[in-house]
Structure 1
Amino acid sequence: MLVGVLLASAGYGATFLFSMHVRAIGGTDINTGVTLAGAALGTFVGVSLTGWLAHHVGAARMAALAALCVGAGVVSFALIETVSRFDVLPGFLVGFGWGAFCLAAPMALAERTSDADRGLWFLRFATVQMTGIGGTPALAAFAIRFWRMPLGGVLYVIGGLCVVAALMLEIFGRLAPHARALHGQPAQDAPPAGPASGHWLRNFGAIVRTRAVYPIVIIALGGCVFSGLMTFQMSLVQGTEAKAGTFFSVYTITVVATRWLLSRLVIKMRAETATKVLLAMMVLGSAAMFVVPYHVLFQSAAAVLLGTGYGLAYPIVQLQAVNDSVAAHRRAALTWFVAAYFVGAFGFPAVGGWVLVHSGRGALLALIAACGLAALALAVLRDRRRIPTLSANA
Structure 2
Amino acid sequence: MRPFSAVFMLVGVLLASAGYGATFLFSMHVRAIGGTDIHTGVTLAGAALGTFAGVSLTGWVAQHVGAARMSALAALCVGAGVVSFALVERVSAFDVVPGFLVGFGWGAFCLAAPLALAERTSDAERGPWFLRFATMQMTGIGGSPALAGFAIRFWRMPLGGVLCAIGGLCVIAAVMLEIFGRIAPQVRGRESTHESPAPDSWFSKLGAIVRTRAVYPIVIIALGGCVFSGLMTFQMSLVQGTGAKPTTFFSVYTVTVIATRWLLARVVVKMRPGTATKLLLAMMVLGSAAMFVVPFHVLFQSASALLLGTGYGLAYPIVQLQAVNDSVAAHRRAALTWFVAAYFIGAFGFPGVGGWVLVHGGREALLALIAACGLAALALAVLRDRRRIETFSASA
State the TM-score, normalizing by the size of structure 2.
Answer: 0.92
Q: Give how far 1:122 is off.
A: 2.6
CA change 1:46–1:387 in 2 (3 A) is farther
Partner of 2:187: 180
Q: Give how far 1:123 is off.
A: 2.4
Q: Percent identity?
A: 83
Q: Give how far 1:184 is off.
A: 5.7
Tell me, yes or no, if structure 1 residue 32 matches structure 2 residue 32. Answer: no
Within 1, Cα distance between the matches of 2:334 and 2:138?
24
**Length, aligned pairs only:** 384
Query: Which has the larger displacement, 234-243 or 105-114?
Result: 105-114
Q: Give how far 1:333 is off.
A: 1.5
Q: Which residue identity is paired with 2:262?
A: W
Q: Give how far 1:345 is off.
A: 0.4
- Bigger fraction of residues in helix: 2
Partner of 2:256: 254
Q: Give how far 1:58 is off.
A: 1.7
Q: Give how far 1:116 is off.
A: 4.8
Q: Give how far 1:192 is off.
A: 4.7
Q: Which residue identity is paired with 2:196?
A: A
Q: 2:297 aligned to 295, 298, 305, which one?
A: 295
Partner of 1:356: 358
Q: What does 1:1-394 align with in structure 2 at a 5 Å threshold?
A: 1-174=9-182, 176-181=183-188, 192-193=195-196, 197=199, 199-385=201-387, 386-388=389-391
Root-mean-square deviation (Å): 1.9
Within 1, Cα distance between the matches of 2:189 and 2:249?
39
Q: Which runs of 4+ in 1 moved over 6 A?
A: none
Within 1, Cα distance between the matches of 2:61 and 2:54?
10
Within 1, Cα distance between the matches of 2:54 and 2:276?
31
Segments of 5+ residues of structure 2 without an aligned counterpart are 1-8
Query: Which has the larger displacement, 325-334 or 245-254?
Result: 325-334
Partner of 2:4: none
Within 2, Cα distance between the matches of 1:14 and 1:349?
15
Within 1, Cα distance between the matches of 2:175 and 2:321?
31
Q: Give how far 1:320 is off.
A: 2.1
Alignment partner of 1:81: what SS?
coil
State the TM-score, normalizing by the size of structure 1.
Answer: 0.93
Within 2, Cα distance between the matches of 1:229 and 1:337?
21
Q: Which residue identity is paired with 2:242?
A: T
CA change 1:380–1:281 in 2 (3 A) is same
Alignment partner of 1:388: what SS?
helix
Question: Could you tell me whether the CA contact under 8 Å between 2:127 and 2:321 is conserved in 1?
Answer: no
Q: Which residue identity is paired with 2:53?
A: V
Within 1, Cα distance between the matches of 2:349 and 2:26?
14
Question: Could you tell me whether the CA contact under 8 Å between 1:51 and 1:197 is conserved in 2?
Answer: yes
Alignment partner of 2:297: what SS?
coil
CA displacement, residues 68-97 of structure 1 (integer Å, 9 cap, x when unaligned):
000000011111111111111111100110
CA change 1:262–1:182 in 2 (3 A) is farther
